[in-house]
């Protein structure tokens, strides 16, 4: 006996999208098929501040959503602190905080998926979450704009993984998985995942027709061994947990490469006063810090007849020619009542991996008194990501 049921879920207060996904599971001797439709219904977005209800359209403050718990939350706060944007939270039990360096900005601690949902609804203007969260809960909503796509933490990938044993032992690619004769309308490939949008979309886009999905949170790696799924779609960092549970990733099975991103509401950027200016400041601070990570300034004195002659000597060295600089300035001394410049101070910018080799080559061509300092910020005349954002907004 086959029973089909349709369940409508209220998923958010906007009219941004309507999506339908199909899931099947075996129940006793019959097959019960649920068609889960997630729709958004138009309604005024409202939030509660203290004891006062305030519609999002009426508020004046700009709101930034941050992850409330876990490693992503800690790393986000650390990054903002490194950018001189420390979050001040009066009470750790409160969900609202501030960044004193930026006026008229409220920080709201939320679950990552709620950050995305509230960006879509208009309750938040900016957010920092993983790209996987934006793609899963934003579902390609055109109002969401990725302002900075590489905040350099939270690295992971959303992957399809299958067992190493049994009928999958010699299956090593998505194409081979799709061509297995075992998958039929009566016996589809069963996939366990918490990504109920990205998982089905990936399978459909790659031509896998006979697939059903079951939703699950946590410990997905146990599902194949327990016999409740043939494969899983889950986030993978190092892959150690997969290997320890006799699972493997396959060629073509990576759905998404993810890391932390700064995301914004297009409507807020265009319509809400102050959002674009605050976004610009945050973007510049983030870019300046991230560009400086792993970079060092190297200063040394070098004897020479002229700045040009010293520059020629430096740029002739293989490990120095591709670096930023050199900046060369004369070092003046007074000899016999006359001012002379027999030495020049040179400054170059060196990545960490080339630091020691660069210092050795500087010394080999006459550099002395070598000083090394880590860089904290590198501000460009204008960050390329700012120009890209303005282009996306048509400004």
% residues pLDDT > 90 (the chain): 63
Tell me the per-residue pLDDT of 216-260, one tens digit each, with 9 for 90 and over.
Answer: 767 899 999 999 999 999 999 999 999 999 999 999 999 999 999
Q: What gap in Å lies between CA 84 and CA 107, rounded to an integer?
A: 15
DSSP label of 173? B
Q: What gap in Å lies between CA 306 and CA 370, rounded to an integer?
A: 20
Question: Taking 50 as the threshold, does the pLDDT of residue 10 lie above it?
Answer: no
**What is the structure's pLDDT at 90?**
83
Q: What gap in Å lies between CA 325 and CA 322, rounded to an integer?
A: 9
Question: Taking 90 as the threshold, does the pLDDT of residue 128 lie above it?
Answer: yes
Out of 3.40.190.10, 3.30.70.600, 3.90.1070.10, 3.20.130.10, which CATH number does the structure's domain 156-258 have? 3.40.190.10
Residue 186, exposed/middle/buried by CB under 10 A (0-12, 13-18, 19+)?
exposed
Mean per-residue pLDDT over the chain, rounded: 84
H or E segment at 324? strand 324-335
**What is the structure's pLDDT at 133?**
98
Average pLDDT over residues 119-145: 97
Average pLDDT over residues 147-173: 96
Q: 91 falls in which pLDDT band (50, 70, 90)?
A: confident
Which of 58-62, 67-71, 340-344 ranks highest by mean pLDDT? 67-71
Q: What gap in Å lies between CA 108 and CA 66, rounded to an integer?
A: 6
Which of 34-48, 88-102, 282-296 ranks highest by mean pLDDT? 282-296
Q: 57 falls in which pLDDT band (50, 70, 90)?
A: low
The CATH class of 53-155+259-292+385-393 is: alpha beta
Q: Does domain 295-374 have CATH number 3.30.70.120?
A: yes
**What is the structure's pLDDT at 25?**
38
Tell me the per-residue pLDDT of 330-384, one tens digit each, with 9 for 90 and over.
Answer: 888 877 778 877 889 999 888 888 889 889 888 988 888 899 999 999 898 888 9
Residue 63, exposed/middle/buried by CB under 10 A (0-12, 13-18, 19+)?
buried
Sign of CA dihedral 179, 182, 186, 190: negative
**What is the structure's pLDDT at 321?**
62
Residues of the chain with CATH 3.40.190.10: 53-155+259-292+385-393, 156-258
**What is the structure's pLDDT at 210?**
94
More confident residue, 29 or 105: 105
More confident residue, 319 or 29: 319
Is 0.75 topped by the overall pTM?
A: yes
Q: Find, among 251, 275, 253, 274, the residue nearest to 262 by Cα.
A: 275
Q: Find, among 351, 246, 334, the residue nearest to 292 by Cα.
A: 351
Q: What gap in Å lies between CA 317 and CA 40, rounded to an integer?
A: 62
% residues pLDDT > 70 (the chain): 84
The residue count of the chain comes to 395
Residues of the chain with CATH 3.30.70.120: 295-374
Q: Find, among 216, 257, 267, 210, the residue nearest to 235 by Cα.
A: 257
């Amino acid at each position: 006996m086959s029973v089909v049921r349709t369940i409508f879920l209220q998923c958010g207060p906007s009219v941004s999208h309507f999506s339908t996904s199909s899931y099947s599971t075996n129940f006793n001797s019959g097959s019960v098929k649920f068609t889960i439709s997630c729709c958004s219904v138009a309604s005024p977005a409202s939030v509660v501040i203290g004891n006062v209800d305030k519609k999002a359209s009426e508020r004046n403050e700009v709101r930034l959503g941050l992850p409330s718990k876990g490693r992503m939350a800690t790393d986000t706060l650390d990054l903002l602190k490194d950018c001189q944007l420390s979050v001040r939270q009066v009470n750790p039990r409160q969900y609202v905080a501030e960044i004193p360096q930026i006026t008229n900005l409220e920080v709201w601690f939320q679950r990552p998926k709620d950050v995305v949902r509230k960006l879509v609804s208009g309750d938040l203007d900016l957010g920092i979450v993983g790209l996987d969260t934006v793609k899963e809960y934003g579902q390609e909503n055109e109002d969401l704009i990725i302002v900075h796509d590489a905040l350099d933490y939270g690295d992971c990938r959303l992957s399809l993984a299958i067992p190493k044993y049994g009928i999958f032992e010699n299956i090593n690619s998505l194409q081979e998985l799709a061509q297995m004769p075992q998958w039929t309308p009566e016996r589809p490939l069963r996939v366990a995942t918490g990504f109920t949008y990205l998982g089905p979309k990936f399978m459909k886009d790659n031509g896998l027709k006979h697939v059903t999905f079951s939703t699950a949170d946590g410990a997905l790696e146990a599902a194949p061994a327990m016999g409740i799924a043939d494969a899983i779609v889950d986030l993978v960092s190092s892959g150690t947990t997969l290997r320890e549970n006799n699972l493997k990733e396959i060629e073509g099975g990576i759905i998404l490469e993810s890391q932390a991103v700064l995301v914004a509401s297009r409507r807020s950027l265009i319509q809400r006063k102050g959002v674009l200016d605050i976004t610009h400041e945050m973007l510049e601070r983030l870019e300046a810090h991230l560009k400086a990570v792993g970079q060092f300034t190297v200063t040394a004195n070098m004897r020479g007849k002229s700045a040009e002659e010293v520059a020629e000597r430096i740029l002739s060295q293989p490990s120095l020619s591709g670096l930023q600089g050199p900046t060369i300035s004369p070092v003046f001394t007074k000899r016999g009542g006359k001012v002379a410049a027999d030495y020049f101070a040179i400054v170059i910018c060196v990545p960490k991996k080339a630091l020691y080799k660069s210092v050795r080559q500087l010394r080999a061509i006459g550099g002395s008194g070598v000083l090394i300092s880590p860089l904290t910020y590198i501000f460009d005349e204008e960050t390329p990501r700012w120009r890209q954002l303005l282009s996306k907004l048509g400004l």
